[in-house]
Amino acid sequence: MKLITALVGLFLFATAAFALRGVDISQATSAAAFQCLKRDGYDFVVIRGYESVGRIDPNVATSASHAASAGVAVDVYIFPCQRCGNAAGQMTTLVNYLHSHGVRFGTIWLDIEGPGTYWSANHASNTEFIKELLDHGRSLGAHVGVYTSKSQWIPITGGATVASTAPLWYAHYDGTQNFGDFSPFGGWTHPYMKQYKGTTSLCGTGVDENWRP
């Protein structure tokens, strides 16, 4: 029993030691802010690269450059415009822009939220749009994940499993840096990352806070 207890404690310590904290942003963020975030233990950022109105976020390249200079790893998210159509075109526009502006990034996250506001009432057409984003992003060589939550995914897609092979970044603002609150949905049985705190200010900039093991 003592051995088991010791092994469990070692596992928990190792998990905590390798866990990472990060932020996501939807506004221009300065070099000084990223330096401050890095000093405070935030190791990665997810930067909005494409806006829900159907255009590139003009701040993405500069913010990514500031983050990289501070030693903060960069991911990017696309807030797609479903009513604009042409999911493949939106993904192509983003990927080409990032490459042409020298943005080095790990994952492109599909921001899937806002049923009734950013999405139609048709589950099948919404699901097909998401699938097109995912498939086309992969065809362009990007690593693509999904940001959503059960309360958003089910009203938008009806609970479709079309994206279950992609990593899941889910939102639940309970303030805890663990997956103990996670309940499977959409074919996902285990998440990759959690947004545990929303709309706060760190180092003088507006962020959401995230954690991954």
Give me the active site residues, please: 24, 111, 113
Tokens of 114: 């806002």
Contacts (Cβ under 8 Å, ≥6 apart) of 86? none
d(CA 139, CA 109): 15
Max CA separation in the chain (angstroms): 60
Residue 81 φ/ψ region, left for φ over 0, alpha for ψ in the -120 to 50 degree band, beta for the rest: beta
Torsion angles phi and psi, residue 131, rounded to 5: -60, -40
d(CA 1, CA 48): 49
Q: What is the torsion angle, in degrees rounded to the nearest 10, for the CA atoms of residue 102, residue 43, residue 36 and residue 171? A: 100
